Amino acid sequence: MSVYLDHNATSPLRAQAREAMARAYDAGGNPSSVHGPGRAARAIVETARASLARHFVTRAEDVVFTSGGTEANNLVIASAKAAGVKRLIISAIEHDAVRDAASASGLQVEILPVTPEGVADLGWLEARLSGWDRDADGVPFVALMAANNETGVVQPVEAAGRLVREAEGLFHVDAVQMAGKLAFDFAGSLAHYAALSAHKAGGPQGVGALLLACDAPLTRQMHGGGQETGRRSGTENVAGIAGFAAALAAVEVDEAARMAALRDALQLRLESVEGVRIWGAGATRLPNTLCLSADGWLSEIQVIAMDLAGFAISAGSACSSGKVRKSRVLEAMGASVDEAASAIRISLGWTSTQDDVDRFADAWMREYARIRPRLAAAV
Ligand code: PLP
């Protein structure tokens, strides 16, 4: 079996999540039914909601379950127009779930740039918001992710939130990659909205949540049975929701420190290789993520070579597997075309061990040393 080093794409299901899901499947009922099995299902959903609310420092009634991070992000952006938004400011490093939803919204989109370390430029944001013309530009709306999926760079969401609140705007945080890896305090972030996804934290795929501040406007997009207090119709994914809460509860207190030690040891070895550039190394990063470019060695070739050697990694953002394209995130950080084309992401998680990391470093360094003279000759 291959060594799995792609937790930012999906983190394998934790045993605690699987057990909680099995119990939920056994409970049967529809949470909207009034009979016993229905009430049992409702209790599972509401227990999970309360647990998520505690985890992210918010109120249970402000947690809306969705089919994942993509839906949560789309729900926010699709609601913006009715909230008086005419222009969306989104950071240059947002996931496609935000970027494409923004493009499809029919609203004007402005890009909040990032520094070469991949951190949102708050000087730019402050200047832009101070010149905001509410009559012409509508209610300010800013989307800034909590941590980037490709580089792991953690964003200054609280400081950005303060700027947006001062401008009486709406602030959205995609916290999909942050959840379960570092603490995310929704109340402290000053965000109106936060998107979450279970499978990035060792929960099941196809379930997520939107956190809403009490003053956050939301226009429902799904019409039907009025579940989630009318905010998101559709029978709840009871087992998925149970698995989501169980996965977050299973994150060990020292997990982040353990990840950071493994990642730093891996980085130390790989950065010593000539031609390697580490992205975001000077910024605060998620403890599990390492993004690097290897001079001349195309990302997809690296991914294939490592797959053959028994390691699962990804080429930049690999949300939908097999989709390899030049990283907009690295481009926004000033990467050259060649650097962006030779970037890979190694993302560790709860399954990762020192042995995984050592063996990966050995295999990757061996392969690069073998192929490098040929790459140089080909130039
Ligand atoms: N946002 C970020 C930052 C992500 O990394 C991803 C998935 O890679 C998503 C949103 C989409 O989440 P989901 O797969 O739950 O739809």
Active site residue 319: yes
Rounded CA separation 192/283 (Å): 25
Give the distance (Å) from ligand 1 centre to CA of residue 207: 11
Which single residue is written with the structure tokens 């990035």? 200
- Percentages (nearest 5) of helix, strand, coil residues in the chain: 45, 15, 40
Q: In ligand 1, which atom is closest to the CA atom of 205?
A: 15
Q: In ligand 1, which atom is closest to the CA atom of 9?
A: 8
Kindly state the tokens that stand for 47: 């227990």
Give the distance (Å) from ligand 1 centre to CA of residue 194: 12
The continuous run of DSSP H or E covering 294 comes out as: strand 289-294
Q: Which of 319, 324, 363, 371 does the annotation list as catalytic?
A: 319
Give the distance (Å) from ligand 1 centre to CA of residue 65: 15
Give CA 364 to chain center in angstroms. Answer: 26
Q: What is the 3-state secondary structure (H, E, C) of 124-159?
A: HHHHHHHCCCHHHHECCEEECCCECCCCCEECCHHH
Q: What is the pLDDT of residue 9?
A: 97
pLDDT tens-place values along the chain, 379 residues long = 799 999 999 999 999 999 999 999 999 899 999 999 999 999 999 999 999 999 999 999 999 999 999 999 999 999 999 999 999 999 999 999 999 999 999 999 999 999 999 999 999 999 999 999 999 999 999 999 999 999 999 999 999 999 999 999 999 999 999 999 999 999 999 999 999 999 999 999 999 999 999 989 999 999 999 999 999 999 999 999 999 999 999 999 999 999 999 999 999 999 999 999 999 999 999 999 999 999 999 999 999 999 999 999 999 744 444 555 679 999 999 999 999 999 999 999 999 999 999 999 999 999 999 999 888 777 6
Rama region for 327: left / alpha / beta (φ>0; ψ in -120 to 50; rest)? beta
What is residue 187's three-state secondary structure? helix
Q: In what order do the strands lie in the sheet with 193-197?
A: 63-66, 208-212, 193-197, 170-174, 141-143, 87-91, 108-112
Q: What is the pLDDT of residue 215?
A: 87
Q: What is the pLDDT of residue 218?
A: 97
Give the distance (Å) from ligand 1 centre to CA of residue 378: 37
All residues at 6 or more sequence positions from 174 whose CB lies less than 8 Å from its CB, including other chains? 69, 73, 94, 95, 97, 98, 143, 145, 146, 194, 195
Q: Establish whether residue 149 lines the binding site of ligand 1, counting it when its CB lies within 6 angstroms of any ligand atom.
A: yes
Q: What is the pLDDT of residue 324?
A: 54
- Which pTM value belongs to this model? 0.97
Q: What is the DSSP letter of 203?
A: S
Give the distance (Å) from ligand 1 centre to CA of residue 151: 14
Could you give the angle at the alpha carbon of 371 between the alpha carbons of 367 and 374, nearest 5°? 175
Q: How many helices (H) and strands (E) does the chain have?
A: 14, 12
Strands (E), 53-94: 63-66, 87-91
What is residue 249's three-state secondary structure? helix
Q: Establish whether residue 208 lines the binding site of ligand 1, counting it when its CB lies within 6 angstroms of any ligand atom.
A: yes
Out of 176, 199, 345, mutate this one to test ligand 1's pocket (max ligand atoms within 8 Å of CB): namely: 176
Q: What is the pLDDT of residue 376?
A: 75
Q: Establish whether residue 99 lines the binding site of ligand 1, counting it when its CB lies within 6 angstroms of any ligand atom.
A: no
The continuous run of DSSP H or E covering 338 comes out as: helix 337-341
Q: Establish whether residue 6 lines the binding site of ligand 1, counting it when its CB lies within 6 angstroms of any ligand atom.
A: no
Q: What is the DSSP letter of 355?
A: H
pLDDT digit string, tens, across residues 247-259: 999 999 999 999 9
Q: What is the DSSP letter of 283?
A: S
pLDDT digit string, tens, across residues 358-369: 999 999 999 999
Rounded CA separation 243/154 (Å): 26
- Ligand 1 atom 9: residue of nearest CA: 69
Q: Establish whether residue 174 lines the binding site of ligand 1, counting it when its CB lies within 6 angstroms of any ligand atom.
A: yes
CA Rg value for the chain: 21
Q: Establish whether residue 159 lines the binding site of ligand 1, counting it when its CB lies within 6 angstroms of any ligand atom.
A: no
